[in-house]
Structure 1
C-alpha cells in the first residue's frame, strides 16, 4: 500500500445482531475508521440465521441471498459520499467445523449480490482457503492485530463478541492467537430465554452485577474439554451455546437470572485470564486491550480488571479504534491486502501450513 485508500468492511458475528459496516482509511502504517454503524437484522432474518444449522438446502440458498442483500445495504449506507476501492465481507458464519473430517466452514451473504448492488469489487469467504491449507480457518483478526500492535510491547488483544478470542502480540511478532471460549453468547442466550426474546442482552452487565457467581458450577464449567485443548483452536457458536445452558442452567427464571449471568460473566473473564497466562511468552504483559460488545459490559470489564491486576485493561478506543468497529475494520484491511497480492492471515494463529492470500474476489 503506497498511499491512503478507502475500503469498506462488513462483519456479523456469532450473536447475529446485524451487519456492522465500517468505512476505513488504510495507509501503509495505520488504519482510521471514518465512520461505522450496525444495521440490525429483521426479526425474521435473525431467526433464520440462528436456525441455519437445521435448515434445508433451499432455505440455506435463500438465506445466502437475503444476507447478501442485507450486507449490500449496509455497504451502501456506510459509503455514502465516499468512493471506496473495495469491500471486505466476512459474511455470517452459520457453521464452523475445523475438527470435522474433512474440516469445513460456511459463511453466508452472497458476495455477487454485494458487488452487483454496490458496483464495488468485493472480497469475501476468507476462512476456506486457510482451512484448505490445514488451518482452523479462524481466528482471522490476529494478522490485523499484528499490524496494529506488533511494534509495541507485549499486549493481549482481546475481542469479546459471541465468543472471545485473544492475540498475544508485541516485540515484533505474534506469539499466539486463538478463540478462548465463550464471550457474550451464553449471557445473551440466557437473557433471551428468560425474557422470551423481549430483551437481547444484559446491557452494561447490570443484572450480572446484582448476582453472585456459583463457584461450584464455575469449577465444572472451567473443566470443559475446550479449555484443555492447546492452540491452534477455534470455536463455533454451538460449542458454548444452547445445549450448555440446557445442561447447566435447566431452570432459568427471572429470580435466578442475575446469579446465572454473574456465573457466565465470570466464566468468560476467568477463561480469558487462564488462556493468556497459559500461552503468554516469558515477557512482561504491558496491557490487555478489549474490543467487541464485551467492552461495553461494565461488569465484565470490572472483573477483567480485577483478574488481570496490576496489568491495565483498556479498550481499543484508547488506541483510536472504536470497540464495535474493530472486526469490520479488520475485513476492510484484509480485502485491501488481497488487492495488493499480499498475505492476509497469521498461520501461527490458525495452524495453516504457510502464508496464503485468503478470500474470493467478485469484480465490480
Structure 2
C-alpha cells in the first residue's frame, strides 16, 4: 500500500491539519488525522505578518517555526497511524498563507512553513509551494482544491457545488455527467470576519456555535454597505484572503454606521457570509451544496446558509465519504501525488492559468 500525507493550514490560522491517506480509484482511505493548534503567541505573530506588520527577520523566523510545527504535525499523524514511514510516498504541504495578491503588475502568493524542514525532520519527500507555478502561468494560484473535488466528488446524476468554509469561502461547481466545465472561485469571507470581530470584541478567537451572533440582529444598512464591495461583483477567476477581508475592513464599514451593538455587527457578518455565497452560486441547476471546513461546525451559519441557498439542499461532505474537516488536507495529499506522478494539479478554467500545470516544488528525502 502506498500512502500520502497532507498538511494544511488555512486563512483562519488556528492550526495545522494533518491527514495520512491512501487513494484507490475515486475513494479515500484515512489512516490517521491530527489537528495541531498554533500556540497563541505564534498565531498572533502570523496574523500580524499577514497584515504587513512584520520585518524580513520576523518573516524568516516564522518560516522556520511554522516549518518545524508542520513537521511535528506530520510526525504525530504518522505515529497515530501505526504505518511504516517507508510506505509514505510523499507529504504535500500547503504551508501557511501570509499574503495573497493575485492581481496587479507583479502578482504573488506567499506561503511559509519551510518544506525543507519537513523533509529533514520526517525523512519523507515533501512537496510544497503549490501556488507559484499556476501564477507563473497567468493564474490566480487559487483555489487549488477544485481539481481534487472534480476527481473525487463529481456525479453522473446530481449537479453539485462543493463549498469550503474556512477563513475564506470558495465554491466548486460540478455539473452532472461532466456537462459543462468545472468552475470554482473564492466568494469572499466565510469565518475570517466573524473570527476577527469576535476576537477584537470578546477576546475569544471565534464565536463558538454562533451563540454571540444569535444575541444580535442583522442591520440592513450595514449589510447593504458590505455587500456593495466590488469583490462580490467581480467575475471569476478570482481569489482573495485576509489581506482584504480583515478587521480593518470591518472597522471601515462600521465607521459609517455608528452606535451599532457589537453583537448586531457579528450577526450581520454572519449574514454577509451566507448571502455572498448564495448570490454567487450558479443561477440554475444546483441540486445539492456539500459544505466542508471549519464553518460547518457553526450551526447558526449553517442555518443561515440553508435558508439562503434554498431550494438547493445544503449537506456536508461526509455524505460523500469524507469528513468536512479533512477535505482540504486530503486535497494536498492528492496534489502531492499528482506532482510526484508528473500530472497537472490545477484547473485552468478555475484559476485562469494558461493551461494545465504540474504544481509544487519537490524536496526529495
What TM-score bracket applies, with the shorter chain setting the length? over 0.9
Query: How far apart in 2 are the matches of 1:45 and 1:146?
Result: 35
Matches within 5 A, 1:248-263: 248-250=253-255, 256-263=261-268
8 Å CA contact 1:167–1:174 kept in 2: the answer is no
CA RMSD of aligned residues (A): 1.8
Query: How far apart in 2 are the matches of 1:86 and 1:170?
Result: 32
8 Å CA contact 1:11–1:21 kept in 2: the answer is yes
Hey, what does 2:13 align to over in structure 1? 16
2:149 maps to 1:131 = no
Q: 1:125-154 deviations in whole A, cap 9, x for unaligned?
A: 000100000000000010011012223421
Matches within 5 A, 1:58-207: 58-80=57-79, 81-82=82-83, 83=85, 84-152=88-156, 153-171=158-176, 172=178, 174-195=181-202, 197=203, 199-207=204-212
Q: 1:305-356 deviations in whole A, cap 9, x for unaligned?
A: 1112222100012222111111101000100111111111111110000000
Query: How far apart in 1 are the matches of 2:311 and 2:187?
Result: 21
Shift of 1:155: 0.8
What is the aligned counterpart of 2:250 among 214, 239, 245? 245
Hey, what does 1:285 align to over in structure 2? 286
Shift of 1:85: 1.4
Shift of 1:100: 2.6
Hey, what does 1:325 align to over in structure 2? 326
Moved more, 124-133 or 314-323: 314-323
Matches within 5 A, 1:200-219: 200-219=205-224
Shift of 1:299: 0.5
Query: How far apart in 2 are the matches of 1:339 and 1:174?
Result: 26
SS in 2 for 1:220: helix
Query: How far apart in 2 are the matches of 1:318 and 1:151?
Result: 13
Query: How far apart in 2 are the matches of 1:29 and 1:316?
Result: 14
Change (3 A) 1:17 1:116: same
Shift of 1:248: 2.1
TM-score, L = length of structure 2: 0.93
Query: How far apart in 2 are the matches of 1:174 and 1:10?
Result: 28
Gapped runs of 5+ residues in structure 1?
Answer: none
Query: How far apart in 2 are the matches of 1:8 and 1:232?
Result: 29
Query: How far apart in 1 are the matches of 2:335 and 2:42?
Result: 27
SS in 2 for 1:325: helix
Hey, what does 1:34 align to over in structure 2? 31
What is the aligned counterpart of 2:40 among 27, 43, 64? 43
SS in 1 for 2:356: coil
Query: How far apart in 2 are the matches of 1:229 and 1:252?
Result: 25
Gapped runs of 5+ residues in structure 2?
Answer: none
Moved more, 205-214 or 294-303: 205-214
Matches within 5 A, 1:257-276: 257-276=262-281
8 Å CA contact 1:291–1:323 kept in 2: the answer is yes
SS in 2 for 1:240: coil
Query: How far apart in 2 are the matches of 1:158 and 1:123?
Result: 25
2:278 maps to 1:307 = no
Query: How far apart in 1 are the matches of 2:194 and 2:266?
Result: 6
Count residues with an aligned counterpart.
355
Moved more, 95-104 or 347-356: 95-104
